[in-house]
Amino acid sequence: MMVIAGKRLGIGVFMLIAALIGWRRHDPDILPSSPAFVGPVQEAAPAASEPHSGAVFPEPFPFPPDAAFETGDTWLSHGKRYRLYGVQSCIRGTRIIVSGNVKRDCGALNILMVQAIVKDTIPSCSVIRIIDEYNALVICQTRAGTRSYDLASLLIARGWGFAAIDETRKLIVPAYRMLEEAARQARAGLWAYSDLPHPLGILYPSKPEGGRP
């Protein structure tokens, strides 16, 4: 089981949420096997600069089964915080109408579905930058048979993540914006809700260069 803010949740919760919102799989062949490039982003602050393109990353490690998700792109494990590179999740505390007048926390729903995807795809991750003793940036790969796929791409293509921007308000991974646009047009994941509070519109009220909104 995985946890949100210290609370353990069973797979039954994930499947119920999936059934309610019509979660569907996407063809993995449309997804890149690795991100085009990456850099840290925080839910309430701009991202730092990118790691050097020639960096050699440590050996991948399994996604921790004890991960406690803070947001749909950040989790805690063994006293350390890990941030998935290039992705911005829906912000906790923002609301969407899921049916009729029923409202749900967009960030919390985002976490539930990311947990379900992680449980289903069993990714492995590599640290690409150690920010400090307690914080690190990671990229993660999922597996389907003998092929591997970029977890961030998968989340965005399914509508459970958004292309993040850096401190200069430029896209961290430009290819992620194309996946986001495809998910938007398909009304996948969070894009199914017409009142979706896009996180960049909240973090950056004025339109960023190359970014939505």
Above 60 in pLDDT, residue 184? yes
Q: Is it true that the peptide bond before 197 is cis, omega within 30 degrees of 0?
A: no
Which of helix, strand or coil describes residue 127?
strand
Instruction: Give helix 106-121 / helix 11-21 axis angle, nearest 10°.
Output: 120
- Pick from 209, 87, 102: nearest CA to 160: 87
- Pick from 141, 180, 143: nearest CA to 158: 180
Of 5-14, 47-56, 76-85, the range with the lowest mean pLDDT is 5-14
Mean pLDDT of the chain: 77
Burial (CB count <10 Å: 0-12, 13-18, 19+), residue 55 = exposed
Above 50 in pLDDT, residue 210? no
% of the chain exceeding 90 in pLDDT: 55
- Pick from 92, 87, 85: nearest CA to 5: 92
Per-residue pLDDT band for 118 (boundaries 50, 70, 90) equals very high
Domain boundaries, the chain: 2-201
The DSSP secondary structure of 47-110, one letter per residue, reads B-PPPPTT--PPPPEEPPTT-EEEETTEEEETTEEEEETTEEPPPTT-EEEEETTEEEEHHHHH
| Predicted TM-score (pTM) of this structure | 0.72
Output the pLDDT for position 33. Answer: 46
Determine whether domain 2-201 maps to CATH 2.40.160.20.
no
Give the pLDDT confidence of 159-175 residue by residue, as tens digits.
999 999 988 889 999 99
